Amino acid sequence: MPVREMDVPWSDLKLILAIRREGSVRAAAKTLRVSHPTVSRRIADLQDGLGVHLFERDGRRLRLTEAGEDLAQTAERIESEVDGLSRRIAGQDHRLEGLVRVALSPEMLAALAPALPHFAGLHPGIELELVTGLGFASLARREADIALRLTNAPHETLVGRKLSLFEQTVSVHRALAERLRSGGNDDPFAWPWIDWDDRHRHHASAHWVRERVAGERVVARSDSSLAMYQLVRAGVGVGFVPTMLLASDPDVIRVEPRDAFPVFHRGIWVLTHPDLRNAGRIRATVDWLGTVLQVPGVGVWLGGLGHAEREPTSPVA
């Protein structure tokens, strides 16, 4: 069937891109912040208008047809130009007001939350939107303006600085440790343990657990550092807990003797796109994050880690 002539709105091209990237209409709708029926209806109208199928089912995912891929490639070129223009315009706005979207991990959000009133007092004109559900948010596509990333190799196309270290230590709930030791079990390797799930088995800490902890001692698995902290705090077992969460929780303690257990680390980087680095609200937010994550006594303090320039001595997570 020949393709009919039709003006394709940019908003519909964005839908095609989102479905290609996410693999389903539902996931694309969530990313674009519109309803599932709205996306389905607009895609159906677009296919009817063009007279071609743009997607075909491949198991649980949608795969683009040849016509759909042609539209998606055109959409990517347009998106790059539109996003570039948007960033350049935003980068010339020196006002300390407006929305700033910050992409960060759930554990970083949990640690930063107590400091947010401090930011609101400093910059009442800036509205922070803290996003944890975008995964690896694209700064080029303006999915976020700033990203707090836990990495030892930030992307070379971004600008920013290393703020500190994200450290994870072998920890346990105080009551669980006391109960086990009072019952004569002084060997932490014989205690119940929490391991990472299969998606995180590449982590150095996961390798360490597999090498040193008997499989029958693993009683639960976790898909995030925050979830592991919550399991440890509930007394489920021993696990790797971020030191930034230990600092404010006296009930969760490091397992003794400390020299028997490693501390794994990654850098905490605050990053933005070069086009946005001079925008007033972006610079103010980046500067505040650097202050909060490095200076004790203001919101979050990462367990006495010191400045980011400190040379790490622990293994890489």
Output the six-digit token pair for 316: 């890489």
Question: Are residues 197 and 304 both part of a single domain?
Answer: yes
Q: Is the model more confident about 203 or about 293?
A: 203
> Lowest-confidence range among 194-198, 215-219, 240-244, 298-302?
298-302
* d(C-alpha 303, C-alpha 245), whole Å: 9
List pLDDT tens digits, range 263-309. Answer: 998 888 899 988 888 888 999 999 899 888 753 443 343 433 333 33
Q: What is the mean pLDDT of residues 91-97?
A: 76
Among candidates 114, 144, 100, which has minimal Cα distance to 279?
100
Residue 170 near residue 256, CB atoms below 8 Å: no
Which tokens sit at 253?
A: 């303690």
* 299 in Cβ contact with 247 (< 8 Å): no
Amino acid at the residue 162 = K
Q: Domain count for the chain, please give it.
A: 2
Q: Are residues 159 and 131 in the same domain?
A: yes
Same domain, 86 and 101: no
Question: Residue 161, class by beta-carbon neighbours within 10 Å (0-12 exposed, 13-18 middle, 19+ buried)?
Answer: middle
Query: Could you tell me if residue 3 is inside a domain?
Result: no
Residue 152 lies in a domain: yes
Domain that includes residue 41, residue range: 10-90
Structure tokens at 311: 């040379």
Instruction: Say whether both 79 and 161 belong to one domain.
Output: no
pLDDT at 294: 59
pLDDT value of position 303: 34
Give the rounded percent of residues in the chain with a pLDDT score beyond 90: 31
pLDDT at 145 over 50: yes
